[in-house]
Amino acid sequence: MSDMIGKCALITGGSRGIGAAAARLLAAAGCNIAFSYVSDTAAATALTSDLEAMGVKARAVKADMGTEDGMLAFFQSVDQAFGAPDYVINNAGITGAITKVAELDTAELRRVVDVNVFGAMLCCREAVKRLSTAHGGRGGAIVNLSSAAVRLGSPNEFVHYAMSKGAIDSLTLGLAREVAQEGIRVNAVAPGLIETDIHASAGAPDRLERLGPGVPIGRAGTAEETAEAIRWLLSDAASYVTGAILPVTGGR
């Protein structure tokens, strides 16, 4: 029997892509789902209906994960609907437009850092306050979304994005060690080329077709394949795994 039945997962940026795939996978395991999104209400509404049809409770919250107000509003909404979560997937992330560093727009850089770094750190802070046994919580697990970009550096595309994901790796390692005796495991998945809308949003809808064949496995990965790694890291099967950064890259 699934160890996730009746548990609650909080997912930042869950309306599409990897977050939505994780929501479906955890719901299939019996987990109630709360997710945030920022703009695509149609996708959020459709996913909520799908999750409820799977027999779990689902709540979509429109809130900007790149602001403190948005992050606090999301967590407070989940507090009211479900109480403290058991699992937190720190997933909301953006690349910004493809650019060389010399042409990087300041506002774009700030937005990427706000969502990917500031938001991720605030999400972990709010998660620890609710999950930590030192704060009266019952423990739980956090998975942060890193990227293969940390190792590749993403030259000529988005060095600023790679930099922001480097912060996720430090956050994962440091927080994992800080709360290891407070009932919380903290891990990250580092996806490579994954089939989601993020590439089109960056201005390169053909990116997967161009780069997929060069991946050692010979293709881009799917959001579902990435969600499987997230699910495992959250599950009791990974009970001795913390501070790990798991590549989901097809060998890239």
Residue 197 in the binding site for ligand NAP (CB under 6 A): yes
Cβ 12 to ligand NAP shortest distance, Å: 6
Residues near 220 by beta carbon (within 8 Å), at least 6 away in sequence? 192, 193, 194, 195, 208, 211, 212, 250
Q: Taking CB under 6 A as the rule, which mask of x and - marks residues 113-152 in contact with ligand NAP?
A: --x-----------------------------x-x-----
Cβ 133 to ligand NAP shortest distance, Å: 28
Kindly tell me which residue out of 139, 183, 201, 204 binds ligand NAP, with binding defined by CB under 6 A: 201
Closer of 63 and 179 to ligand NAP (Cβ): 63
Which residues, numbered 38-77, are part of the site for ligand NAP (CB under 6 A)? Answer: 38-40, 43, 64-66
Cβ 86 to ligand NAP shortest distance, Å: 21
- Calpha distance 73→62 (Å, rounded): 9
- Calpha distance 141→86 (Å, rounded): 7
Residue 194 in the binding site for ligand NAP (CB under 6 A): yes
To the query of whether residue 161 is one of the catalytic residues in this protein, the response is yes
Residue 9 in the binding site for ligand NAP (CB under 6 A): no
Kindly tell me which residue out of 32, 36, 99, 154 binds ligand NAP, with binding defined by CB under 6 A: 36
Kindly tell me which residue out of 9, 10, 13, 82 binds ligand NAP, with binding defined by CB under 6 A: 13
List of residues contacting ligand NAP (CB under 6 A):
13-19, 36-40, 43, 64-66, 91-94, 115, 145, 147, 191, 193-194, 196-198, 201
Q: Give me the active site residues, please.
A: 161
